[in-house]
Amino acid sequence: MKHRAVKRRTVVVGLGSVAGAAAIGGFAADAQAESRNSSRNAEKPANSGALAFDPSAYTELTTTVTTDEGDKEVTYHFWKALTYVTAPVDAEHQSLVVSVPVRIDGKAVDATNAPILFSNAVGGYFPASVATAAGVGEAAMEMGDPGGAGGPGPGGTPPADTGTGTGAPTTGTGEVPSGSNGMLNGMGEMVSLPKLGLAAGYVVVEPGCRGRTLTDANGTYYGTAPAAIVDLKAAVRYVRSNQGRIPGDTRRIVSTGTSAGGALSALLGASGDSALYAPYLKEIGAADASDAVFASGDWCPITDLEHADGAYEWNWGANTPQSGTLDQSVSKELRAQFAEYQASLRLKGLNGFGPLTARNYDDYLLETYVRPAAATYLKGLAEADRSAYLSANPFITWKNGRATFTWADYLTHVGARKKTAPAFDTFDLSGGENNEFGTGTTEARHFTAYGQRHDTTGLTASRVDGDIPALLDLMNPMYHLARHNPGRAKHWWIRVGTKDTDTALTVVGNLAATLHGLGDDVDSLMYWDQGHGSNTDAADFITWVARVTGRRK
Ligand code: DHB
């Protein structure tokens, strides 16, 4: 498995203020800023509960953000890690940071009623932390320790011979800033949405949350499903319960995330105010407020996990894995499961496509997403580059601004797939998702009947554990959408690259088609030739946020 070195993006932090220096000047400067701000604590709203946001407890920072319109110098108020629940299991992860722009290129901005970008940094279902974040866009996805013998340890890398798992870097011991998600396999470049949002004048909230690798002193896994979504909901509740204290319009919370973070963002969007999470939220002392979000931005969401193995084989079954071998009979059986699942969804495609089935889904993806993605890409190239690209890729017919090619040729163009079969509920429990469904001191479990039946780790039970079905519901946006959850977000932005083989493209296709069927506002497209985690139209997303939230420039 290949990994690009994790690249830290340069953040230019201004030294123009004492507080600005605090963020980069270490402990002494930090303490100075603390005392300066604590003198203003008298300004706290009178009716402050344990989770009251202190409007005065910020430091002022300056950063330069590179945007499509050039570099912008943004001065902003930054609230360091704030614990968002009253009974944290792990305050280091159950905390969030807030950034509020006050000046952009020297011009004062008022973010009092700005949309709130709620941007999670989760990757790989690992924990995410803002404990040490000293400015916007520094939320860290934690990679955990590399795996031990016999498969990945907590947060570890998949065994080299299977190619399954989540693709954590082999050096996965550190933290990765949210702007460069280390889970992402290096084919796509990811622009920091928190920074772009700030430069657009939005309030930015970056939540940490528990993740699958966390264990307590007894070796009990306390960050596996549904911990991450419970925490993100608690963070939303914290923000909303601080309406009037926290800058921004708490009715216009826009969630974002990529990959596992995209899955959680979609889930946050789909499950707003669902009663299913109430006991979990109560247990950690979440604020008594709505956890619905206004809009959901989801990049390459690794979701619908219990159906993802079948979908993966339907989509990428013809492609050889990057490493390891593909068991053809397993692939075939899983593909058959997809046909059954897809039929059960009774979905209609966008643009009047009609019922979506395993038989026509290739045509649907080509027509709706993949060919238009190629066309957009080709149109964006200069004449000479386009000619060169088309000569190098003769499978594409380019005529009248339209790209045509067959599904088989597209699959060949994508090349080796990232995972073997099953891609998620691996027989040897080595997948990251197996760990996501771990419980107690059990690191990893099966979450599909098929995975359980084919277990190679010596399990004797023929069925998945009794608590698994309910956990799957808690983790799957499709569950909530099937029930037309009234508290769901009504505005959706969904993206994936056409070379992203971390999951099936049908996952995005089904999510978008379901939402469209419910009458929600869905902006879904694919990025041509982009791999896992790219967000090549991040600037468009920022504009989309302004439009759907009614933000005036
Ligand atoms: C991620 C990637 C995966 O392939 C997966 O199975 C889960 C998560 C990620 O990049 O977050």
Residue 202: closest CA among 300, 100, 273, 62? 100
- State how beta strands 128-129 and 354-355 pair: unpaired
Task: Determine the pLDDT at residue 49.
Answer: 86
Task: Determine the pLDDT at residue 156.
Answer: 32
54 Cα–ligand 1 center, Å: 36
**CATH-assigned architecture of domain 307-475:** 3-Layer(aba) Sandwich (3.40)
Helix (H, G, I), strand (E, B) or coil at 538: helix
Helix (H, G, I), strand (E, B) or coil at 520: coil
46 Cα–ligand 1 center, Å: 44
* Ligand 1 and 502: CB distance under 6 A: yes
* Alpha carbon distance 228, 214 (integer Å): 11
* Alpha carbon distance 370, 367 (integer Å): 7
Torsion angles phi and psi, residue 304, rounded to 5: 50, 50
Helix or strand (DSSP H, E) at 61: strand 59-67
* Alpha carbon distance 499, 504 (integer Å): 10
In this structure, which amino acid lies at residue 135? G
Alpha helices, H only, 458-528: 468-475, 477-482, 505-517
302 Cα–ligand 1 center, Å: 6
* Ligand 1 and 260: CB distance under 6 A: yes
- Which atom of ligand 1 is the closest one to the Cα of 122? 11
- State how beta strands 348-349 and 128-129 pair: unpaired
Other CB atoms within 10 Å distance of the CB of residue 332: 12
- Which atom of ligand 1 is the closest one to the Cα of 261? 11
DSSP string, 502-518: SS-HHHHHHHHHHHHHT
- Which atom of ligand 1 is the closest one to the Cα of 126? 11
Buried b (16+ CB within 10 A) or exposed e, 130-162: bbebbbbbbbbbbbbebbeeebbbbbbbbbeeb
Mutate to test the pocket of ligand 1, among 180, 302, 309, 419 (most ligand atoms within 8 A of CB): 302
* Alpha carbon distance 499, 496 (integer Å): 9
Task: Determine the pLDDT at residue 48.
Answer: 54
In this structure, which amino acid lies at residue 153? G
385 burial (CB, 10 Å; 0-12 / 13-18 / 19+) is exposed
Residues in contact with 415: Cβ distance below 8 Å, sequence separation at least 6, in sequence order: 319, 499
- Which atom of ligand 1 is the closest one to the Cα of 432? 6
Task: Determine the pLDDT at residue 159.
Answer: 28
Whose C-alpha lies nearest to ligand 1, atom 5?
166
* Alpha carbon distance 306, 448 (integer Å): 6
* Ligand 1 and 531: CB distance under 6 A: no
CATH number for the domain formed by residue range(s) 11-40+65-301+479-549: 3.40.50.1820
SS3 content of the chain, % helix, strand, coil (to 5): 35, 20, 50
Prior bond to 226 cis, omega within 30? yes
Which residues share a beta bridge with 298?
257, 494
Whose C-alpha lies nearest to ligand 1, atom 6?
166
* Ligand 1 and 255: CB distance under 6 A: no
313 burial (CB, 10 Å; 0-12 / 13-18 / 19+) is buried
Task: Determine the pLDDT at residue 15.
Answer: 26
Check if the beta carbon of residue 356 is closer than 8 Å to that of residue 338. Answer: no
Buried b (16+ CB within 10 A) or exposed e, 242-258: beebbbbbbebbbbbbb
Domain boundaries, the chain: 11-40+65-301+479-549, 307-475
* Alpha carbon distance 33, 172 (integer Å): 34
Residues in contact with 208: Cβ distance below 8 Å, sequence separation at least 6, in sequence order: 81, 92, 93, 94, 95, 96, 121, 127, 128, 129, 130, 131, 139, 231
Check if the beta carbon of residue 450 is closer than 8 Å to that of residue 337. Answer: yes
Which residues share a beta bridge with 496?
526
Q: What is the DSSP letter of 173?
A: T
Two tokens at 380? 């964006």
* Alpha carbon distance 137, 184 (integer Å): 17
Task: Determine the pLDDT at residue 142.
Answer: 78
CA 457 to chain centre: 30
Q: Using alpha carbons only, what angle is made at residue 327 by residues 332 and 316, rounded to the nearest 5 degrees?
A: 60
* Ligand 1 and 163: CB distance under 6 A: no
Summarize pLDDT for 319-365 with one digit per residue, the tens: 999 999 999 999 999 999 999 999 999 999 999 999 999 999 999 99
* Ligand 1 and 259: CB distance under 6 A: yes
Helix (H, G, I), strand (E, B) or coil at 180: helix
- Which atom of ligand 1 is the closest one to the Cα of 165? 6
Residue 287 zone, left/alpha/beta (φ > 0; ψ -120 to 50; rest): beta
Task: Determine the pLDDT at residue 43.
Answer: 37
- In tens digits, the chain (553 residues) has pLDDT values of 333 323 222 222 222 222 322 222 233 333 333 333 333 333 334 345 899 999 999 999 999 999 999 999 999 999 999 999 999 999 999 999 999 999 999 999 999 999 999 999 999 999 999 999 999 999 987 765 433 222 233 333 332 222 333 333 322 233 444 433 334 444 346 889 999 999 999 999 999 999 999 999 999 999 999 999 999 999 999 999 999 999 999 999 999 999 999 999 999 999 999 999 999 999 999 999 999 999 999 999 999 999 999 999 999 999 999 999 999 999 999 999 999 999 999 999 999 999 999 999 999 999 999 999 999 999 999 999 999 999 999 999 999 999 999 999 999 999 999 999 999 999 999 999 999 999 999 999 999 999 999 999 999 998 999 999 999 999 999 999 999 999 999 999 999 999 999 999 999 999 999 999 999 999 999 999 999 999 999 999 999 999 999 997 5
Q: What is the DSSP letter of 10?
A: P
Other CB atoms within 10 Å distance of the CB of residue 289: 18
In this structure, which amino acid lies at residue 107? K
Residue 186: closest CA among 416, 412, 5, 413? 5
Helix (H, G, I), strand (E, B) or coil at 113: coil
**Can 11-40+65-301+479-549 and 307-475 be said to share one CATH topology?**
yes
